[in-house]
Amino acid sequence: MFKTVNALVLREVRYKEADRILTLLTDTDGKLTVKARGALRKSSKTAAATQQLTYSEMTLFGNRGRWTVNEASVKEAFSGLREELERFSLGAYLAECMEAFSVEEQPEPELLQLGLNCLYALSRALCPAEKIKAAFELRLMCLSGYAPELGRCAVCGKEPQEPALSLDRGQVCCGACGYAVGERADLTGGALEAARHICTAPAKQILSFQIGDDALLRLSDASERYLLRRAERGFSTLDYWKRIRNTSGT
C-alpha cells in the first residue's frame, strides 16, 4: 500500500550501512516512524529530503504496519538552519519537543503548522531566537491541553500586579499572592501581555508582538520551565543549544 504525505523530519538515526530511521510529523497521519533505505548513499535520490529538519513530500510504502520511504522531494529545506550551528541546535530542540508532545498516527495539523512557522522564522532569523523559542513553547503547551490561565490572579482575583506564573497550577498570580501557589516564574507586565498574545493569536501571528529585552528574558524563562514541568523530563537538545549559545557568546 502506497500513500503520499507531507512530512517534517523530526529526527534521523543512522541504521546499518546506509539506511536512515526517521521520525516524521506528517500532515495526515501525525507522528510516524519510517525507514529510508540507502538514504546515506551518495547516489541516493532521497538523501536531501530525509535529513533532519527538512519538510518534504514523501511517498511511503506500507507493509504490515511498517513504512518505507519510496520517493521523497524537498518542499522546504530551512537552509538558514544549516548555516549556523546555534540555529540548527534550537531547531532540533523544537523537533524534540514536537516528538515528545505528539502521539503516533494521530493527526495534529496545528502542531505541524506551529513547527513549520517557527522553523521558518528561525531559519530566516526573522526575530530573536529567544522569542521564537518562548512562543513555540507556550503555544505548544496550549495545543497539548496545558494552556495556562493568564487572566486574573488565581489568588485574589484582580489583574495581577508584578505578575508570576505558577508552574504547578498553570495560573497567573500577583507577586504578593505568589506564596499560595507553589513554585513560580516571575514575569513582567510586558511578558504577561506577550504570553496572552501567544496563547490567543491566530496561528500565523503568534510572533507578531513587541517585547523589551528584560520582559523577553522573563517570558523565555517562564515558558521553558512551564514546558519542562509538563513534560516531566529534560531535553538533551535544549542543554546542547544552551552550551552552544554560551560558547558563541551571544
- 118 lines the binding site for Zn ion (CB under 5 A): no
Stretch that binds Zn ion, among 42-50, 172-180, 186-194, 204-212 (CB under 5 A): 172-180
Contact 39, 19 (CB under 8 A): yes
Stretch that binds Zn ion, among 81-89, 90-98, 141-149, 174-182 (CB under 5 A): 174-182
* CB proximity list for 53: less than 8 A, separation 6 or greater: 8, 9, 78, 81, 88, 91, 92, 95, 119
- 174 lines the binding site for Zn ion (CB under 5 A): yes
Q: How many residues bind Zn ion (CB under 5 A)?
A: 5
CB nearer Zn ion, residue 7 or residue 155: 155
The Cα-based distances of 54 to 68, 92, 223 in angstroms read 17, 11, 26
Binding mask 93-112 vs Zn ion (x if CB under 5 A, - otherwise)?
--------------------
Q: How far is the CB of 138 from Zn ion (least distance, A)?
A: 21
CB nearer Zn ion, residue 90 or residue 164: 164
- 181 lines the binding site for Zn ion (CB under 5 A): no
Give the Cα separation of 30 and 41 in Å (integer): 28
Neighbours of 74 (CB within 10 A): 16
CB nearer Zn ion, residue 74 or residue 156: 156
Contact 78, 126 (CB under 8 A): no
Amino acid at 150: L
Neighbours of 233 (CB within 10 A): 8
CB nearer Zn ion, residue 40 or residue 153: 153
CB nearer Zn ion, residue 92 or residue 155: 155
Q: How far is the CB of 4 from Zn ion (least distance, A)?
A: 53
Amino acid at 233: R
Which of 53, 95, 177, 198 is the binder for Zn ion (CB under 5 A)?
177
Instruction: Tell how strand 164-166 and strand 184-186 pair up.
Output: antiparallel
Binding mask 132-161 vs Zn ion (x if CB under 5 A, - otherwise)?
---------------------x-xx-----
CB nearer Zn ion, residue 161 or residue 205: 161
Strand partners of residue 164:
173, 186
Q: How far is the CB of 113 from Zn ion (least distance, A)?
A: 35
Give the Cα separation of 20 and 22 in Å (integer): 6
- Phi, then psi, of 235 in degrees rounded to 5: -130, 115
Applying CB under 5 A, which residues contact Zn ion? 153, 155-156, 174, 177
